[in-house]
Amino acid sequence: MKKRVYSGIRATGRLHLGNYLGAVKGMLALQDEYDCIFSVVDSHTITVPYDPKTLKQSVREIILDYLAAGLDPKKCHLEIQSMVPQHIELSYYLATIYPVSRLEDLPTYKDKKAQYPKYVNMGLLYYPVLMAADVLLYKGELVPVGIDQEPHLEVMREIARKFNGMFGQTFPEPQRFKTEGEYVPSLAGGGKMSKSVEGSYITLTDDLETIRKRLAAAPTDSGQIGGELPKEGGVANLFKLLKLLKLDVEYKKFEQDYRDKKIRYTELKEVLAKAIYEELQPFQEKRKIFKEDPKLVDDIIDEGNRKCLQMADRTMGEVKKKMGLI
């Protein structure tokens, strides 16, 4: 039996370089060898303020991004989370065995509470339990996600262990599949690239001019500092991006320029802009082709959901039996 892989992305806007290098590259690396399910997790999307009028379109855009990035429906199943209601069903059963106090302590919950103080809903607290259900529903063993998701993976393993202990061996303990881009830094100076921080990201559909503009706004220093490269902040982040894009020769050159206090950030940013655009161009061309064929995309989604529903049913039967519900 091939190992099962599961990952998902929320429909909160176009994918950015962080999503791509941190998660999608991992999905691409695994789809040839493993039994993979990749989802647009719309039920997770609605835990923060969102627009119901545009949600369906946003979900569709992520599916197009997946296909354009090279996720191949012949090799993996593409799923829309809310189309497989067993995610919610399993999450409720798992919630009955997990302590509230542990959920209240999670950094992601605290961050969201701080970000949306008027929108602290039950779904937000419940988020990691639903995420555990996403993966455990398919008995997923490997989860390609960025490093920010590690606390959620820990919850997943705790829930799996607890369930197995109470009701008998049922679930594997999922592990994160680590990618080189597991932490893509923000363009805005500190922290990680994030959809919710304006000025921090480059989306996969940006053209060269937009990429240049976004990089131009990224903070640096006066270029007169010299010595060792800083470990954090705007300059460190630009160097990290050079590394992630495998621009090793350029990295060394700019590092030397930095030491010699003659670095020109406009030059570094132009090198980065061109390399990013080059990486994104094939994606953008492929995306257009899928966008122009809505019937093909509908069929891919229907087939993915159909297969996932069958797999989900099997797990739910087993879970309900073990819990004494049937």
Query: How near is the Cβ of 196 to ligand TYM at its closest, in Å?
Result: 9
CA dist list (Å): 87 to 8, 20, 90, 103, 306: 13, 25, 5, 18, 14
184 binds ligand TYM (CB under 6 A): yes
Which residue, 42 or 297, has its beta carbon nearer to ligand TYM? 42
Cα–Cα distance measured from residue 91 to residue 131, given in angstroms and rounded to the nearest whole number: 8
What minimum distance in Å lies between the beta carbon of 240 and ligand TYM? 10
234 contributes a contact to ligand TYM by CB under 6 A:
no
Please select the residue that binds ligand TYM; options are 50, 116, 167, 183, rule is CB under 6 A.
183
DSSP-based three-state secondary structure for 22: helix
**Spatial distance between the Cα atoms of 74 and 150, rounded to a whole number of angstroms:** 29
* Calpha distance 83→223 (Å, rounded): 52
Place of tokens 């060898």: 33
Q: Is 8 in the site for ligand TYM (CB under 6 A)?
A: yes
**What's the rounded Cα separation, in Å, for the pair 4 and 76?**
10
Given 5, 41, 68, 78, the residue binding ligand TYM (CB under 6 A): 41
Residue 238 · residue 218 · CB < 8 Å: yes
Helix, coil or strand: residue 6: strand
Question: Using CB under 6 A as the criterion, what x/- string covers residues 188-207 for binding ligand TYM?
Answer: ----xxx-------------
**How near is the Cβ of 153 to ligand TYM at its closest, in Å?**
8
Cα separation, 133 vs 86, in Å, equals 9
Write out the DSSP string of 137-198: TTT--EEE--GGGHHHHHHHHHHHHHHHHHH-S-----EEE--TTSSPBPTTSSSB--TTST
Q: Which stretch binds ligand TYM (CB under 6 A): 6-14, 207-215, 241-249, 285-293?
A: 6-14
User: Nearer to ligand TYM by C-beta: 134 or 141?
Assistant: 134
251 alpha-carbon distance from chain centroid: 27
Q: Is 18 in the site for ligand TYM (CB under 6 A)?
A: yes
Residues 119-158 that bind ligand TYM (CB under 6 A): 131, 134-135, 143, 145-146, 148-149, 152
Single residue of 7, 203, 305, 315 touching ligand TYM by CB under 6 A: 7
Name the residue whose CB lies closest to ligand TYM: 22
Q: Which of 1, 3, 5, 19 binds ligand TYM (CB under 6 A)?
A: 19
Interacting residues with ligand TYM (CB under 6 A): 6-10, 18-19, 22-23, 41, 44, 131, 134-135, 143, 145-146, 148-149, 152, 181-184, 192-194
